[in-house]
Copies of this chain bind each other. A is one copy, B any other.
Amino acid sequence: MKNNDIKSLSSACILVIGNEILSGRTEDKNINFIAKRCDKIGVSVNEVRIIPDEPKIIKDTVLTCHKIFDYVFTTGGIGPTHDDITTECIASAFNLDIEINEEALKRLKHHYRKLKVELNESRIKMAKIPKGALLNDNPVSSAPGFIVKNVYVLPGVPKILQAMFNGLEDKIKGVTNIISKNIIVHSPEGEIADFLEIIQNDYKNVSIGSYPYFRPPEVGTNIVLRSINKTLINEASIAICAKLKEYKIQFEDT
């Protein structure tokens, strides 16, 4: 039955690197974007960590996650300033030298020439990439991300990250047929908890989640079914809807 199990998908971890997220100054916008995209590709994000701009912590966390997950996506810390230290930490984690990547430098030169802006020493830093890394194209501001082993290094600025991720998706292998189904229940989850647990036990290869929403005066629950097996999703969904009718609970089967 393992093939029907959502846990058998490729796994991923998102590492958000940045003091500004931890201090609350900036609200992260990348986790949800990457999570949704992975979900669509059929890669299961199993963990997210937000960590500070501290070399030892970045290095240790990258190495730990590199070993546990099929894909590691890092965000942040690849710009031109002193607090952008992701590249050197990743190179150090994998004992790689950093060198000026000629292709990256060419792209930066082209970009800044067009903008009529000087390609100074700080900006040239963005062409320094671990030796042997593959480049991730940046159609917005040219400075590339890169890939080392299973670690995909992405920028923190959402607009640039999103554009870069678009170009990456064919490099990420997932199961493309995760199916998800949503039942909106117009009652609090306390009303449905008992039979939902029984149906979850009957359908172990369907992940059944119960998510309360609270928008006074309306209180309700989203029941979300997820699986790679359409028949099982349909069967579990029919079982849930039958119970909702039996309990005379209003719902929308979307």
A contacts, CB < 8 Å to B: 16, 19-28, 31-39, 44-53, 79-84, 117, 120-123, 125, 140-141, 157, 159-160, 180, 188-194, 196-197, 200, 207-214, 224, 226
Contacts and interface: CB of A to CB of B under 8 A. Distances in A.
A18 to B, nearest CB: 8
A35 B24 contact: yes
B214 A157 contact: yes
Contact of A79 (B26, B28, B35, B189): B189
Contact of A197 (B49, B81, B117, B123): B81
B52 A49 contact: no
Contact of A210 (B46, B82, B121): B82
26 contacts: A22-B35, A22-B47, A22-B48, A23-B44, A24-B32, A24-B37, A25-B209, A25-B211, A27-B32, A31-B50, A47-B50, A47-B51, A47-B52, A53-B209, A80-B189, A81-B192, A81-B193, A81-B196, A82-B210, A83-B200, A83-B208, A83-B209, A120-B190, A120-B194, A122-B190, A141-B214
CB-based closest 9 A-B pairs? A24-B35, A122-B193, A24-B36, A82-B197, A48-B50, A81-B210, A123-B190, A27-B32, A81-B193
Given A81-B189, A200-B82, A25 B120 contact: no
A192 to B, nearest CB: 8
A157 B212 CA distance: 8
B47 A23 contact: no
B20 A209 contact: yes
B20 A79 contact: no
A45 to B, nearest CB: 5
B121 A194 contact: yes
B210 A79 contact: yes
A193 B46 CA distance: 36
B214 A159 contact: yes
Contacts of A52: 46-47
